[in-house]
Structure 1
């Protein structure tokens, strides 16, 4: 009988590295008002291990679980948006991983979000700015922070004023005149219109 030799190799690396993420099974990018967040999920199908990372930071770790299917719920972003990863068996030892945001599938959430927000990206003074308007609350976010704003009624609609450094900005809201289109929001920075990006 041949002797059995077991060699253990340990490598010490930062808490967040691909080296340690050997059971990585799913990655999602989720656009919220405070930015785009990366959600990564590890699932050890032999140990039941579950690890959730949000923007590289470990949010949940469960090392040994007998139940391989189930769900993990956690919060994402500055507004503490509820997220849930569903783990379902599809056949034998194959699993399906789905992400829900605020109780909706990621696809449905993003479709709804594109109707309730406007997003602009601009570069000025050597810096990138991602500006998001939440239409339902008229909150304005820039690079992950909610901005102080001042609303004003004007002849053809409303203007929501704010500043970015030394730059005067406002979001103008005017009626499209068409029921299906609703209100059109336009970002103006230093009297220049900024094109909206698809969210």
Structure 2
């Protein structure tokens, strides 16, 4: 239910020297902003929406200005989905974008509050608009029957996540603990891990960058397996959600 802006990108590097000739990961510190966040929901005034210009990929020209009232980021099966919602408080217009693609548009609605239901990666989602004090509106998102923050907490228990930016390209590596599937930017990797003296090692390349995910036994039943990701020899700290 909360907007995913809780410092998801706290990435840092170890003091190890990256492989010669390869780019080192950099910290991604971009954090979106809203008018106000209360109890995991986004609250905005009738005139307090944020503008987001959309650029035509072919011409580079701006062809539409979005009045985004609420924005969330939803993790599903290794991929982070961006959800944007426009709410016209005079006309009642509602527009929903997922990953920059328009999903629905309702230009005239007499009822300014209520629910919209849609699917995201086969999961049922509910976008709820409620009135708030001071001529404001509160926007809440439910995923798979749960408020977004509860859904994220459940997801986080079964995932290991690392994020880094290299040469202005963002990479998100996700390990599913139950299936041991590894995702890179939402796409499952087919590489198989190889046994080493200390555990297992899974290695692959993307855009000329070398990714290595190591797993070793912690020796502690409570901690279980310990995982470490390096990119071009630099260790990436795990992201917590």
TM-score computed with the length of structure 2 as normaliser = 0.59
CA contact (8 A) 1:48 1:63 kept: yes
Please, which runs of 5 or more residues in structure 2 have no aligned partner? Answer: 1-60
Which of the numbers 16, 20, 27 marks the counterpart of 2:71? 27
Deviation, structure 1 residue 27: 1.9
**Matched residue SS, 2:142:** strand
Query: Following the alignment from structure 2 to structure 1, what is the Cα–Cα distance between the partners of residues 134 and 209?
Result: 59
Pair member with larger Rg: 1
Query: Following the alignment from structure 1 to structure 2, what is the Cα–Cα distance between the partners of residues 114 and 96?
Result: 26
| Aligned-CA RMSD value | 3.3
Which is worse superposed, 117-126 or 140-149? 117-126
Query: Following the alignment from structure 1 to structure 2, what is the Cα–Cα distance between the partners of residues 26 and 128?
Result: 23
Pick 1 or 2: higher relative contact order, CA cutoff 8 A, min separation 6: 2
2:159 counterpart of 1:114: no
Query: Following the alignment from structure 1 to structure 2, what is the Cα–Cα distance between the partners of residues 131 and 97?
Result: 30
Query: Following the alignment from structure 1 to structure 2, what is the Cα–Cα distance between the partners of residues 67 and 124?
Result: 46
Please, which runs of 5 or more residues in structure 1 have no aligned partner? Answer: 1-12
Query: Following the alignment from structure 1 to structure 2, what is the Cα–Cα distance between the partners of residues 108 and 89?
Result: 22
**Matched residue SS, 1:150:** coil
Q: Aligned pair count?
A: 180
2:81 counterpart of 1:42: no
Deviation, structure 1 residue 195: 2.8
**Matched residue SS, 2:179:** coil
Which of the numbers 118, 138, 151 marks the counterpart of 1:96? 138
